[in-house]
Amino acid sequence: MAASDPNYPLAGLKVLDFSRVLAGPFAGRMLSDLGADVVKVEPPDGDVTRLWGKVIGGVPGYYHQQNAGKRDISIDLRHPDAKDLVFELVGKADILIENYRPDVMPRLGLGYPDLSAANPRLIMLSISGFGANGPESRRPAYAPIVHAEVGLLARAVRRGKVASRDLPLSVADTNAALHGLVAVLSAVILRERTGRGQHIDIAMVDATMVTDDQLHYELEDSEDTMGLPNDVWETGAGPILISADFRYLWRLLTTHAGLREPDSAGQGLEAKIATRRATVEAYLRGLSTWDQVDAAMAQINTAWGRVRDGAALWDQPTVRHRGSITQIDDRAGGTRSIPQSPYRFSDARAGVRGPAPHLGEHNGEVLEEWIGRSPAQVARLIESGVLVEGPIAKDSAG
């Protein structure tokens, strides 16, 4: 994982990843996939995501997906000698990622002014729910909190006419991670001109709002100007989503697929629409195979998609063709599935480079390579409690 392959765009960059859960770790995972040497700096009790997901080879699934390809050292930041060790590592790092609340790193003596004094070229990415120095900067925030605060939950309830519940993925975290990644790489380019590092303050609130393509409808009170929502329809082969509002879909089906206007004499507008929808439902339910569905959608030349269960993604043709799910070492003599990086270069490499690490697995390796510590010195740091080597989680049954 640490080998510097010049065919990877970020080969040679050193990253200290102090983050946990998702927003920071996902940014670190992408940096690793692009070739950086990413070292996760984990507390003795471990990232909480070591408790989530199926355990294979001592590594739980959630932790594995976000930390694959990284190395791991475990430092007890509460130990009086830990700070000196961190500063030594920072002196060799290009990038540091953290997603604690904004007051935590300064309280530990590891705020950006302190770290920058040790390494003026350091680029520090700080991701938090509400940003630094604001009225809510010290509020704890996971993705669902931000989803609620920026209107996503209320919108889902209003448009879907469903009970209020969180989204089925952590978009506030992943958006913050990806915008943080853009900022970090921009700072790397800027550093080539100026020689100076940067401190990047990414708020999950900001990242979610700027990535929300529907927000203008709410800011301008103009939701009535948007098109009709896409519908999910039942076919004889299974459910599909058709990307066309019903008015347009009806015109396509009557123009190209031979559907006829049903007798709606004397009906009001709502009843007429209901009759048309029933006609479309009957037509689509009459398509009994996926080949028939594909041919019918091609006939009207509109975008559509099968409503798939995530467990069936292996059968999705593009996922299979592009290797969007790949297999890597499961640390138990086999392989396990993991989403592959989306980056496809014409003349460079990218992709997940190995499994996720055990707690403190690379204490000696990283300290020797980065700051020249001998095995005996590492052993003394472990004995004193500065470094920790954690237990390997037991594999999940089944």
CATH number where 275 lies: 3.30.1540
62 and 163: one domain? yes
166 and 264: one domain? no
> What is the structure's pLDDT at 1?
54
Range of the domain at 338: 14-215+318-384
68 and 116: one domain? yes
Is 223 a member of any domain? Answer: no
> What is the structure's pLDDT at 228?
80
Last residue of one domain, picked from the residues 270, 291, 313: 313
Would you state the structure tokens that stand for residue 81, as one six-digit string? 């000698």
Rg (CA), the chain: 26
Considering its fold, how many domains does the chain have in total?
2
Beta strands in the chain (DSSP E): 14-17, 37-42, 55-56, 59-60, 71-74, 95-98, 123-128, 198-203, 231-234, 239-242, 304-306, 325-329, 335-339
DSSP one-letter string for 316-385: -HHHHHHTSEEEEE-SSSSEEEEEPP----SSS--S--SPPPPTTTTHHHHHHHHH---HHHHHHHHHHT
What 3-state DSSP class applies to 189?
Answer: helix
CB of 48 closer than 8 Å to CB of 63: no
> What is the structure's pLDDT at 398?
47
pLDDT in tens, the chain (398 residues): 555 789 999 999 999 999 999 999 999 999 999 999 999 999 999 999 999 999 999 999 999 999 999 999 999 999 999 999 999 999 999 999 999 999 999 999 999 999 999 999 999 999 999 999 899 999 989 999 999 999 999 999 998 888 888 989 999 999 999 999 999 999 999 999 999 999 999 999 999 999 999 999 999 999 989 888 889 999 999 999 999 989 999 999 999 999 998 887 778 888 999 999 999 999 999 999 999 999 999 999 999 999 999 998 989 999 999 999 999 999 999 999 999 999 999 999 999 999 999 999 999 999 999 999 999 999 999 999 999 988 777 777 44
Please report how many Cα atoms fall inside a 13 Å half-sphere around the Cα of residue 297, on the Cβ side.
Answer: 18
Is 7 a member of any domain? Answer: no
CB of 91 closer than 8 Å to CB of 119: yes
Is 365 a member of any domain? Answer: yes
Distance, in Å, from the CA atom of 122 to the CA atom of 338, rounded to the nearest integer, reads 31
Q: Following CA atoms 371, 377, 383, 388 in sequence, which dihedral angle do they give, to the nearest 10 degrees?
A: 20
132 and 29: one domain? yes
Q: Which CATH number fits the domain that encloses residue 171?
A: 3.40.50.10540
